[in-house]
Amino acid sequence: MDSIKAPPGNWACKVLSSRIPKTGEPYHEAFELALGAPIEHWGQQYAPSGPVKADVCFEFVNERVLAVVSVRAAFTLPCSRCLRETGVEASGELKYLFSLRPTRDSAAPDGCGAPEEDGDVDVIQVDSFQAELDVTQCVWEALLLSLPEGALCSPDCEGLCPICGKDRNEGDCGCRYDDLDPRLAVLRGLDV
């Protein structure tokens, strides 16, 4: 199965701006999104165990729309030590600000089109708050950021033997690990 590095084409996380109260009350929209293939990230494959659940909370703040994107999903990936398939939970949150694109008259003479940031919040410029706000890419970014860098099948996983490659959780393979360290080999030669 091919892995993916971008949101699947059938993902559409959109909300009509008119649903968001101008009075500042939050408006929630929940999305349940299928992943047809493993995600490739951090140099490994995250195989989905179920759908991605996203909850986006929109609210008008100072004539801009703050979107708080929360995601939750379950995956399996190989244990970092023994490579056994291991289940992991991914959950995280990212914030975005939808802001009206400056009109030609009000735009600053320099800085045109420069990516804008507001503290730790990414700013997305839109032409109007009449149409839909698309948070598909936001959900995808929040999902990638929520993926754990690695997994352990158990906190005391013994891992694979560096000499013979056997899974040491299944028993001792009989290899002598001290053979790996030349300083120890010298000591053994002393025959204490």
Task: Please give the helix or strand (H or E) that residue 37 lies within, else none.
Answer: none
Closest by CA position to 48, among listed 56, 57, 36:
36
Q: How far apart are CA 88 and CA 25, in angstroms?
A: 34
Give the residue with the Cβ less far from Zn ion, 71 or 157: 157
Instruction: Choose, by CB under 5 A, the member of 12, 34, 61, 164 that binds Zn ion.
Output: 164
For position 153 contacting Zn ion by CB under 5 A, the verdict is yes
DSSP-assigned letter for residue 1? -
163 lines the binding site for Zn ion (CB under 5 A): yes
Residue with tokens 């033997």: 161
Question: 44-48 and 64-78: which strand pairing?
Answer: antiparallel
Instruction: Rule CB under 5 A: say whether 20 interacts with Zn ion.
Output: no
Piece of the chain touching Zn ion by CB under 5 A; list 68-76, 113-121, 131-139, 173-181: 173-181
Name residues contacting Zn ion, limited to 69-88 (CB under 5 A).
79, 81-82
Query: Residue from 173, 180, 184, 185 that binds Zn ion (CB under 5 A)?
Result: 173
Comparison of 145 and 163: residue with beta carbon closer to Zn ion: 163
Residues in contact with 3: Cβ distance below 8 Å, sequence separation at least 6, in sequence order = 37, 38, 39, 40, 45
**Stretches 10-18, 94-102, 111-119, 149-157: which one binds Zn ion (CB under 5 A)?**
149-157
Among 133, 144, 157, 160, binds Zn ion (CB under 5 A): 157
In terms of Cα–Cα distance, which of 96, 139, 105, 101 is closest to 6?
Answer: 139
Candidates 44-52, 100-108, 164-172, 179-187; binding stretch for Zn ion (CB under 5 A):
164-172
Q: How many helices (H) and strands (E) does the chain have?
A: 2, 10
The residue (of 8 and 148) whose beta carbon lies closer to Zn ion is: 148
Classify residue 168 by its DSSP letter: G
* # binding residues, Zn ion (CB under 5 A): 11
Positions that interact with Zn ion (CB under 5 A):
79, 81-82, 153, 157, 161, 163-164, 166, 173, 175
